């Protein structure tokens, strides 16, 4: 494993009075499937996993995760964790375009590059946060390296390979739509796309004018050629760690995430369907997602209830975890949230939250 490049940058987020800037350091490691670039924010915290993110097709770590990680309430979470934001090969800022015929890694091979990153950083465990293709990659990694994954937040995961019907539809769409439009339809709901909000205009512009569009197409092809993850409730192929599945109400992948929920261990899985969030809840509802992420971490014993925001407490959040900020953890899954009209049964692992805004 050879380090290719190290760049030190200071993050762009405006600082609150008294805050010092957190350093972000970008690294590249050579892996059996080519060079992979990742950016580390913060410093490792003793006895705590790193938060490792993996972005979706058409995006990079910044365009996928910056609004979430820079949202106000997220700051009290991230000060307790080092973050590793992976860019899929060829998606990092300034990436050169791969030559014609370049053999881009499959999603399974991309999952196999994660151990190289963790070994390079000398990190032993992670909490993964992935969107779309990134959620698939982190799930595959977790299936192969379950001892190193303490938790997963999977947004818009589709664990199934494309069937022949999907392929036929994909081919037909390809006759009339450009690659950027197909990727936008993967990322956002039809309603959002036809509404053409500022967010949609921004992402349409980013993707259609991307200097590395050929590379993006390669990642897109790998996503469309993914194998079935073959999750089986009660079977051997399943995620063993706490999982928070997230999807926007009426988002393109809603059915796939619902089906995924039905295949995972209900004692380890929480399902968050977010109203009014479109296809990319981490972009449109970072505050809501942060709140759910806090409950998730608290269920794992990583956030003391004193860390909960006034906003969260005033929504009568019911939190019964044996949480402690110093890292002594309980495996009991206690993520729960009440609605305005009354408290959901707390302490019941494996449940659905619907967050309306």
Residues in contact with ligand BEZ by the rule CB under 6 A: 11, 41, 62, 65-66, 69-70, 78, 83, 85
Q: How far is the CB of 56 from ligand BEZ (least distance, A)?
A: 14
Q: How far is the CB of 132 from ligand BEZ (least distance, A)?
A: 17
Mode of pairing for the β-strands spanning 269-274 and 243-248: parallel
Closer residue to ligand BEZ (CB): 14 or 342: 14
DSSP 8-state assignment for residue 302 = -
Q: How far is the CB of 323 from ligand BEZ (least distance, A)?
A: 22
Q: Which positions ≥6 away from 33 have C-beta within 8 Å? A: 89, 105, 109, 110, 112, 113
Q: Which positions ≥6 away from 340 have C-beta within 8 Å? A: 315
Closer residue to ligand BEZ (CB): 69 or 136: 69
Task: Give CA–CA dist 249/277, Å, rounded.
Answer: 7
Report yes or no: 54 and 128 within 8 Å, Cβ to Cβ.
yes
Longest pairwise C-alpha distance within the chain = 58
Return the percent helix, strand and coil in the chain, to nearest 5.
35, 20, 45
Closer residue to ligand BEZ (CB): 37 or 222: 37
Q: How far is the CB of 246 from ligand BEZ (least distance, A)?
A: 17
Q: How far is the CB of 186 from ligand BEZ (least distance, A)?
A: 22
Q: How far is the CB of 57 from ligand BEZ (least distance, A)?
A: 18
List the structure tokens of 284.
């449109």
Task: Give CA–CA dist 26/110, Å, rounded.
Answer: 18
Q: How far is the CB of 63 from ligand BEZ (least distance, A)?
A: 10
List the structure tokens of 114.
């994660």
For 326-354, give one letter per residue: b (16+ CB within 10 A) or e: eeebeeebbbbbeeeeeeeebeebbbebe
Closer residue to ligand BEZ (CB): 43 or 306: 43
Closer residue to ligand BEZ (CB): 153 or 229: 153
Q: How far is the CB of 335 from ligand BEZ (least distance, A)?
A: 22
Which residue from 155, 123, 127 is spatially nearest to 261, judged by alpha carbons?
A: 155
Task: Give CA–CA dist 299/317, Å, rounded.
Answer: 12
**Closest CB to ligand BEZ belongs to which residue?**
69
- DSSP three-state, residue 114: helix
Closer residue to ligand BEZ (CB): 78 or 332: 78
Closer residue to ligand BEZ (CB): 93 or 249: 93
Which residue from 202, 223, 189, 210 is spatially nearest to 91, judged by alpha carbons?
A: 210
Closer residue to ligand BEZ (CB): 14 or 345: 14
Cα→Cα distances 46→125, 144, 261, Å: 12, 25, 32
Closer residue to ligand BEZ (CB): 48 or 83: 83
Q: How far is the CB of 283 from ligand BEZ (least distance, A)?
A: 12
């Amino acid at each position: 494993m050879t380090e290719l490049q190290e760049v030190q940058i200071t993050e762009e987020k405006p600082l609150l009075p008294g805050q010092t800037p957190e350093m972000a350091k970008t690294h590249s490691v050579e892996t059996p499937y080519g060079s992979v670039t990742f950016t580390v924010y913060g410093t490792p915290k003793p006895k705590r996993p790193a938060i490792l993110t993996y972005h979706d097709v058409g995006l990079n770590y910044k365009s996928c995760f910056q609004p979430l990680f820079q949202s106000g309430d997220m700051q009290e979470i991230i000060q307790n964790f080092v973050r590793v934001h992976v860019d899929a090969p060829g998606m990092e800022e300034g990436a050169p375009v791969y030559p014609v015929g370049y053999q881009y890694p499959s999603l399974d091979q991309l999952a196999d590059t994660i151990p190289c990153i963790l070994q390079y950083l000398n990190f032993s465990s992670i909490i993964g946060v992935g969107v779309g293709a990134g959620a698939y990659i982190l799930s595959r990694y977790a299936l192969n390296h379950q001892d190193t994954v303490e938790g997963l937040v999977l947004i818009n995961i589709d664990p199934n390979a494309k069937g022949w019907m999907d392929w036929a539809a994909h081919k037909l769409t390809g006759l009339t739509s450009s690659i950027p439009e197909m990727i936008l339809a993967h990322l956002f709901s039809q309603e959002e796309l036809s509404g053409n909000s500022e967010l949609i205009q921004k992402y349409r512009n980013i993707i259609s004018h991307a200097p590395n569009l050929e590379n993006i197409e390669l990642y897109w092809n790998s996503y469309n050629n993914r194998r079935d993850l073959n999750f089986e409730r009660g079977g051997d192929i399943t995620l063993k760690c706490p999982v928070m599945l997230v999807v926007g109400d009426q988002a393109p992948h809603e059915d796939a995430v619902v089906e995924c929920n039905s295949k995972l261990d209900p004692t380890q899985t929480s399902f968050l369907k977010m109203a009014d969030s479109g296809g990319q809840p981490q972009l449109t509802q970072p505050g809501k997602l942060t709140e759910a992420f806090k409950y998730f971490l608290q269920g794992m014993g990583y956030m003391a209830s004193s860390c909960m925001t006034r906003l969260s407490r005033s929504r009568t959040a019911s939190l019964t975890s044996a949480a402690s900020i110093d890292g002594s953890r309980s495996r009991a899954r206690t993520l729960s949230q009440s609605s305005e009209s009354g408290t959901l049964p707390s302490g019941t692992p494996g449940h659905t939250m619907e967050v309306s805004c």
